[in-house]
Structure 1
Amino acid sequence: MRGTAAILIVLILLSCSWLPASGEASYSIGTISGEDSSRFVAQNSNLQEMEFEDMQFAIRSLRDGEVDFVIGPHHLLTDSEMIAQWNTITVGEMFDISDYFIAMIRSDNSQDSGNEELRYAVNSALADIHQRGTAISTHQLWFSDRPQLDFYDFEEYEDAWPTPTEGGTLHRILFEDGDIGVCMLNQDSSMTRFGASGELVGFEVDMAEMIANSIASHYEVELTLYSHNSGVFENVLSDLTESDLCDIAMASVTPDQVPGGFTSSSPYHVGGTVILSSTESPGIDSAAELFDSDQPKDDESDFDLRIVAILLLSVFILREAARKD
């Protein structure tokens, strides 16, 4: 009789040991249609995706507790004006850094020289901007987080300003035209968008202005920024090569988009995927807890220890029951 009871107790203990596995935390993640964030949810069975037509619907559902978190592109979800409208929403970490935005410049050739000098001047200007800290303050004007760019990338360009060669692009900009043309794209985000007066405004516009001012200051010239909306990326390429509209392009271009015949500056901005939470969201230590499928979970290690403890206890119960019988 005691043996039968002991066996029943052991079976109950073993069945209870599986409860942590079935009771692991499950989170609902809001994503935005067309923004390629679903892949982060698909790799983890404990996450449930809710896709929304646009950003406003997603954030409203986050505010109301209908989803636990929202993930999406940095340039959309960290817009400082938008976040300011939702006082219960918090911008979390950028857990997937995937985009390094660069200025695109024509390569030198037999008919078009001085572009490499221009590239060095842009990089030296970026080094100057970051050294003075104005890049951080400009970032925080447009985005509700801190920049992720590694400023050490600019060390080699500090005080490395090129000497403009007469007849080259940089020399023409400085001493003939007195302006620098920058191709851009309206992205309806903090990167670039149309302002109240119909002009382009945004982080990239401000960065281009600071680059122009830094170059002008170093060479002691007057330099005016001319920003041109190319409309689509294909027009950016043609505007850089087939017209006198642009000398460089700052249109959220990443290195993999730079075709032959063009070169690029050092990155001036880092983008990727960020996570938003609200006062209704469950507490987590970091986004890696949700999306890093290779990271060992505390629940898993606790579960293994409990199994061992229960097995040892079961052996003890069975042995004692057999001894008493």
Structure 2
Amino acid sequence: MILDIVLIIAGMFLLIKGADYLIEGSVGFSKRIGVSELFTGLTLVAFGTSAPELFVSISAALNGSAGIALGNVIGSNITNIALILGLSLMIKKSTIPKSTLYYEIPFVILISLTLLFMLLDGNSALSIYDGFILLTYLIIFIAYMYNMAKNDKSIQEQLLEEIQEVKIKTMSWNKIIFLVLLGIVMLAIGGEISVRGASHFAKTLGLTETLIGVTIIAIGTSLPELVTSIIAAKKGTNDILIGNLVGSNAFNILVVLGITASIHPVIPDRSVIFDAYYMVGVIFLTELFLLRKREAGFWKGLILFLSYLSYIIINLRLG
């Protein structure tokens, strides 16, 4: 059991560092070939931040641990909104951008409902056909984000700031190739050993892999967002954070599950219908919170945080 915990922790470390290296190398590559920073921010950086969930989910699906694959995405999305956003609002009150409230959150509600209906129709499983549908949604989402960012200076500034934080100057091709390959290898190894550790850990304790996926693995792959939320709350930039969390939820469903299901059908070891309903409920609750005044503070954050604790308690009972 101790070895399983060590594998999970080591896997999470490799996933997080691997994503950093992949982003660094990818941004360096985009600068070498002259791709716009706006496009880079919307695609490479966004994809890189979802890389831990992606590699965990693909590894889990291919190893017959689909409960971890599906639980990781749904659990990460609930963690992003209920735990991370809840904590950040408790630390600092925030005003929400109009685009997030009127376009991005409704879009995430739409794709979350789509995922729920897919799971209801497939008896908690996702088929290859479902994966292709999610990837089609992804193309629409990227097109929308590109057009919006192109016409919104504040979003452009945010994306450029994210790229500049990577601290990239002109790189040699050798360094770019090294960083990209290193990042991919670390992500692959991290995904493999974390899934193996989590799967064996679940079996040792008599738990379902899905439970481990929606709790331990989901929190582990959301650690970068959790750290970012605390920093953003202290700096008073929660409005940017909320947009990032919502975008992360969209990419988790569309990129992670879209690619994973397209490669291999995702059939979990227990029903995730309740989890999917909860995911939709949490994002819908967030929209209701923000719809009236476009702002939220301690009490609304506390309700979200308590909803996360309730989710974990209910899942422990479900097994």
Q: What's the TM-score bracket when you normalise by the shorter of the two chains?
A: under 0.3
Q: Which has the larger radius of gyration?
A: 1
TM-score normalised to the size of structure 2?
0.25
- Higher percent of residues as helix: 2
Q: Which has the higher contact order (CA 8 A, sep 6+)?
A: 2
